[in-house]
Homo-oligomer: A and B are copies of this chain.
Amino acid sequence: MDKKALYSLSYGVFLLATKSGEKANACITNTGIQVANDPTRIAISVINSNYTCELLKESGVFTLSLLDQSVSFDTIKYFGMQSGRTVDKLGDLPLPEDARGIPYMGWGACAYISGKVVSSQDLGSHTLFIAEVVDAAVLSDKEPLTYAYYQSDIKPKPAAKPTEKKIVGWRCTICNHVYEGAELPADYTCPLCGHPAEDFEPIYG
């Protein structure tokens, strides 16, 4: 058996968020599909060792934000490469919430779905959740992010040789908001996601 064959399955890239009592967390996942209509059901598979999975088993409710091609690598890194057991990923961010108070992505996402788990199955490494779609909204007309596009265009390539170029602006690494100008004020806060100046990177002209 050549397990590389499975690499050719196509996926999107999503932010999965849940809230159980006062505990809330979000992670990046790529397995989300619509599995039935009338009633509309989606299925998501989540790694069991994941804190979001633990909370989702308690709460049974979540949002799935469908990330789009404008999302930055740092957003993926922020949500996908640190654990909610050690960092409060959602506490600092002014994210919008669905009708049940569960956060979803306010930038870098073209749609979100509010789900309510109707059944789950433990598959060893992952749990597969089947959920009713209780709400859903389109957020933008940007292209949905696929896992293949993430690998080819979002994930950083080895750094290129530095060149002598002028700084013309600053980009928020969390939400991609652009500040125009050579000097970013030290006390600047991103108007979109609320992150401070140290989360901005220079844009060279």
**Residues in chain A within 8 A of chain B (CB atoms):** 1-6, 8-12, 31-43, 45, 66, 68, 110-113, 119, 121, 123-126, 128, 130, 133-138, 143-148
- Would A3 and B144 count as touching, CB distance under 8 A? no
Out of B6, B68, B138, name the residue touching A133 (CB < 8 Å).
B6
Q: A4-B138, A6-B40, A31-B35 are in contact. List 15 more A-B contacts (CB 8 A).
A: A1-B136, A5-B111, A8-B68, A8-B110, A9-B33, A9-B34, A9-B42, A31-B33, A31-B34, A33-B43, A34-B45, A36-B124, A36-B126, A38-B124, A119-B121
Main secondary structure of the interface of A (DSSP, over half): strand
A128 — nearest CB in chain B belongs to which residue?
B35
- Would B12 and A128 count as touching, CB distance under 8 A? no
Q: A126 vs B11: C-alpha distance in the bound complex, in angstroms?
A: 20
A87 CB to nearest B CB, Å: 26
- Would B10 and A40 count as touching, CB distance under 8 A? no
Which residues of B sit under 8 angstroms from A45, Cβ to Cβ?
Answer: 33-36, 43
Instruction: Using A1-B135, A9-B12, A138-B5 as known contacts, say yes or no to A37 and B125 having CB atoms under 8 A apart.
Output: yes
**Which 7 A-B residue pairs are closest in the complex by CB-CB distance?**
A10-B12, A36-B123, A5-B136, A5-B111, A35-B45, A8-B144, A36-B126
